[in-house]
Structure 1
Amino acid sequence: MPRISPRAAVNAASKAAYEIPQPIPTPSTPISAMINQRAIPQEASEELAAFRSKAPKPKPEPPTPSPRQRHRQPPPSSASQSTSPPPIDFTSFIPREKFEISTSLPRSYFLGHHNAALTRMRQALSNVGLILEVRDFRVPISSWNPLLEQSLSSTSAGVPRSRIIVYTKRDLAPPGQMSPHGHPLPGTQPPSNVIRNLKNFHQPPKVNNVKSMIFLGMGVHSTSLQELLKSIKDVAREIDSLTGLRVMVVGMPNAGKSTLLNRLRSHSLHLGKAAKTGAQPGVTRKLGTPVRILAGEDSNDPDTYGLGEGVFIVDTPGVFMPYVSEPEAMLKLALVGCVKDGIVPSVTVADYLLYRLNQVRSTTYIERFGMRAPTNDVHQFLRAAAKRTGKLRRGGDESLEHAADWVIQQWRRGNLGRLLLDEVTLKKLDEAMQLAREPSLSMNQARKREKLARKERNDAKRAGVTGEVA
């Protein structure tokens, strides 16, 4: 046996005395047992007890209800719901009385394929018995194209050709902007008044060849479609041709011509799309082939008598006016999408939208963009929209152009307030009728006329000043 020195024996004995085997704590071992077994030092146990006495006890999570229990649960009470924000006060806010329009604003969107399409439409009129003119209900006067009125309204013998006017996007107009006292808000008209004025105006003797006026929405409106199909059948029975009726659908760009063709075909024959559609104008570039929307005569179906081989529709490209005399009308057409995005600067179009929303005291954009009050500043309006939607550049700066594009698209879908942009009165309709009867001017002709009128006004002012001096 090896010999151990006295000092080594003392060190080994003291080390063995201090090394006490400690139990390994398990999740099931209570804290008190760990403390008693010296698994946790006494000082640590005292700190743990003090911490537990101060910390709040966790609330037990409620059990997850089953689908049937979720269905039977009553709605939350008003006390548990968050309080709604206070109403926005427009009394201290003064909207702009007039929208300042730059002299450099484009005044036309008449392209080469518009002129070519109009020529082909004139050539195909010999086989057309009915014109289906499509207009946007939000701009019922501004989307009235006098060029189509002059070119397609009469037959070769000078007889007025039958027309049916269809106002699309009726559901994107406001349901009725009324004040608490029951009067229309400033700058607004109830849509029912607009419809009544339009129907009363397009009656003989002012208009002799309009068979009916139809107002359609973007959704499923089978009643209005049935009314339109009935009017088309009445015209087909009046013509009573063995080959059926050929209908030409015309209108401004992006007014909804191709969409209307597809809806008529789907509603009547339950067939798929026959015309390509899109959100931007210019999708249809040439005359389409005739598309059947009503079946021919059937001896077993008395409703088809007089239809011959059926009713066919010819889709056409949108045709813009060669020159827009009113600059604000150009802004309206750009806002609703009859002008391709980018022709008129998007920030300018968004500024005009802000101007019109403030006129009718619309709070939609204030609530949606988290703003505290209305504003007349388009940059503040677009910065709020950019922050809320993430339209930011590299570095975190707001992209006003992207925000303006987004705002315009949202308004076109009806998600940022709804507006009737035209004032539809009998006086305004008379002015539009007089304009439709005048020869259409090209851009150069209109500029020369404006230059001559401006020269005459300046000469009159100078003559007045000279007379006062004399």
Structure 2
Amino acid sequence: MASEFVPRAAFPVLNNVSRSYFLGHHKAGLDKMKQMIQNVDLIIECRDYRVPLSSTNPMFEQSLAGRERLVVFTKRDLGKGNDGARVGGLLAEPIMKKWLEPSHVLFSDHKSPGTTKKIIEYTRKSARITDSLVGSRMLIVGMPNVGKSSLLNALRREGVGKGKAAITGGQPGITRKIGTTVKISEDPVIYLLDTPGVFIPYVPNLETMLKLALVGCVKDTVIPLTTLADYLLYRLNLHDPRIYAKYSPPTNDILELLTAMAKATGRLAKGGVPELEGTAMWLLGRYRAGEMGKFILDDVSKDAYENWKKAESEAEPSASALRREAKRERLRVSKAKYESKNSPSVE
């Protein structure tokens, strides 16, 4: 009789994983937001539903304080099953709302007009209170690739019946500077400003960095694809290893899973050798599309938010450590650009 599968209880600590993704346009964007704050009536802060804690950027609270804030948990459809998201048997959304009181909290699925309508109704209510003769101006902010531009387009479509105004994409960094105002409502008149995603200067917790990379807040060149796929396997096993049952029996070995997937999907090089990097990218893409399980990666419990903030603050490195990490990241990016520019072309 085969022994019962036991998933890994913890993911190994990896010292070679970058903990920084704070780029030049992130800082420039945040500085510009600070300058504009006096002319903004409402801040819409987006966080990814799958990582409601990890996609929190404390710099927004520090830099953009003094304005009404609406927190929108985006990509709700990717983090829940048909019966709603549950963590430890409890419904997650009432707990997430409680975390952020007195700020108002809404949940968004851009494919569902109902969730977009609720957000539009809230912005209109806020604008009527402001009662500006020139229209209300609002700012949409968030970490990279949490769905700000997609939400802006959905609000514009719902509010004024017009098409896409902001470019969207599957990788972070599509929006690199604050754009022009986009009208999302005629009565009352509301203008919304799209902004570049802003990462934090340093992520003290390794698992937080892996979660953000897994949901696409970090470019796939920052962390090795097989490492990220291994972290996904770790989380799939904790959730339900049957998710990948069509490719492999339960396993804690990412190379075993990627090899099985490569063979099943035809991702093979000359001689039938499995293309592990390509298969890892395919696996990550399936997860991000909601085709490899829908579940929340962060802890969702009554005290989770306060515990998370405390743990993050206690783990904050010194200013010198931040500078060293930022310098390493700049060098890594420069090296990657140089190698890409000078690599031989294939005719």
TM-score range, shorter chain: 0.7 to 0.9
Higher relative contact order (CA 8 A, sep 6+): 2
Which residues in structure 2 correspond to 1:35-434 (within 5 Å)?
Answer: 92-154=4-66, 161-175=67-81, 188-189=87-88, 193-203=91-101, 208=102, 210=103, 212-219=104-111, 221-295=112-186, 304=187, 307=188, 310-367=189-246, 369=247, 371=248, 373-434=249-310
* Distance verdict in 2 for CA 1:218–1:294, change over 3 Å: closer
Larger Rg: 1
**C-alpha distance in structure 1 between counterparts of 2:275 and 2:320, whole Å:** 36
Give ranges in structure 1 of 5+ residues lacking alignment. Answer: 1-88, 155-160, 179-183, 296-303, 450-470
Question: C-alpha displacement at 1:404, in angstroms?
Answer: 0.4
> Does the aligned pair in 2 maintain the 1:262–1:273 contact within 8 Å?
yes
For each residue in 1:440-461, what CA deviation from the matched residue of structure 2 results, as whole angstroms up to 9, or x when unmatched? 8677445899xxxxxxxxxxxx
Question: C-alpha displacement at 1:90, in angstroms?
Answer: 9.8
* Distance verdict in 2 for CA 1:288–1:243, change over 3 Å: same
> Does the aligned pair in 2 maintain the 1:150–1:437 contact within 8 Å?
no
Count of matched residue positions in the alignment of Structure 1 and Structure 2: 324
**C-alpha distance in structure 1 between counterparts of 2:195 and 2:314, whole Å:** 24
Task: Tell me the percent identity.
Answer: 43
* Distance verdict in 2 for CA 1:431–1:350, change over 3 Å: same
**C-alpha distance in structure 2 between counterparts of 1:142 and 1:131, whole Å:** 19
Question: C-alpha displacement at 1:125, in angstroms?
Answer: 1.4
> Does the aligned pair in 1 maintain the 2:95–2:300 contact within 8 Å?
yes
**C-alpha distance in structure 1 between counterparts of 2:196 and 2:7, whole Å:** 39
Query: Per the alignment, in what secondary structure is the counterpart of residue 292 of structure 2?
Result: coil
> Does the aligned pair in 2 maintain the 1:146–1:435 contact within 8 Å?
no
Q: Which runs of 4+ in 1 moved over 4 A?
A: 433-443, 446-449
* Distance verdict in 2 for CA 1:437–1:344, change over 3 Å: closer
Which region of structure 1 is more displaced relative to structure 2, 193-202 or 163-172? 193-202
**C-alpha distance in structure 2 between counterparts of 1:250 and 1:98, whole Å:** 33
> Does the aligned pair in 1 maintain the 2:145–2:197 contact within 8 Å?
yes
RMSD: 2.5
> Does the aligned pair in 2 maintain the 1:323–1:442 contact within 8 Å?
no
For each residue in 1:298-325, what CA deviation from the matched residue of structure 2 results, as whole angstroms up to 9, or x when unmatched? xxxxxx4xx3xx1000000000011111
* Distance verdict in 2 for CA 1:442–1:288, change over 3 Å: farther
Question: C-alpha displacement at 1:193, in angstroms?
Answer: 2.0
* Distance verdict in 2 for CA 1:260–1:391, change over 3 Å: same
Amino acid corresponding to residue 305 of structure 2 in structure 1: L
Query: Per the alignment, in what secondary structure is the counterpart of residue 124 of structure 1?
Result: helix
For each residue in 1:350-378, what CA deviation from the matched residue of structure 2 results, as whole angstroms up to 9, or x when unmatched? 001111111122312122x2x2x211100
Question: C-alpha displacement at 1:394, in angstroms?
Answer: 2.0
Question: C-alpha displacement at 1:395, in angstroms?
Answer: 2.1
Amino acid corresponding to residue 242 of structure 1 in structure 2: L
Query: Per the alignment, in what secondary structure is the counterpart of residue 395 of structure 1?
Result: helix
**C-alpha distance in structure 2 between counterparts of 1:128 and 1:437, whole Å:** 29
Which region of structure 1 is more displaced relative to structure 2, 277-286 or 389-398? 389-398
Query: Per the alignment, in what secondary structure is the counterpart of residue 348 of structure 1?
Result: helix
Amino acid corresponding to residue 273 of structure 1 in structure 2: K
* Distance verdict in 2 for CA 1:117–1:439, change over 3 Å: farther
**C-alpha distance in structure 2 between counterparts of 1:118 and 1:404, whole Å:** 33
Query: Per the alignment, in what secondary structure is the counterpart of residue 149 of structure 1?
Result: helix
Question: C-alpha displacement at 1:218, in angstroms?
Answer: 4.1
Question: C-alpha displacement at 1:439, in angstroms?
Answer: 12
Question: C-alpha displacement at 1:104, in angstroms?
Answer: 1.3
Question: C-alpha displacement at 1:239, in angstroms?
Answer: 1.4
For each residue in 1:213-236, what CA deviation from the matched residue of structure 2 results, as whole angstroms up to 9, or x when unmatched? 1111242x2222121111111211
> Does the aligned pair in 1 maintain the 2:20–2:203 contact within 8 Å?
yes
For each residue in 1:103-134, what CA deviation from the matched residue of structure 2 results, as whole angstroms up to 9, or x when unmatched? 11111110111111111111111211110000
Question: C-alpha displacement at 1:434, in angstroms?
Answer: 4.7
**C-alpha distance in structure 2 between counterparts of 1:150 and 1:323, whole Å:** 16
For each residue in 1:266-323, what CA deviation from the matched residue of structure 2 results, as whole angstroms up to 9, or x when unmatched? 111111110011110000011010000001xxxxxxxx4xx3xx10000000000111
> Does the aligned pair in 1 maintain the 2:109–2:116 contact within 8 Å?
no
Amino acid corresponding to residue 352 of structure 1 in structure 2: Y
**C-alpha distance in structure 1 between counterparts of 2:324 and 2:302, whole Å:** 31
**C-alpha distance in structure 1 between counterparts of 2:289 and 2:269, whole Å:** 25
> Does the aligned pair in 1 maintain the 2:99–2:305 contact within 8 Å?
yes
Amino acid corresponding to residue 99 of structure 1 in structure 2: F
**C-alpha distance in structure 2 between counterparts of 1:270 and 1:230, whole Å:** 15
Amino acid corresponding to residue 96 of structure 2 in structure 1: L
> Does the aligned pair in 1 maintain the 2:46–2:141 contact within 8 Å?
yes
Question: C-alpha displacement at 1:176, in angstroms?
Answer: 7.2
> Does the aligned pair in 2 maintain the 1:99–1:355 contact within 8 Å?
yes
> Does the aligned pair in 1 maintain the 2:110–2:154 contact within 8 Å?
no
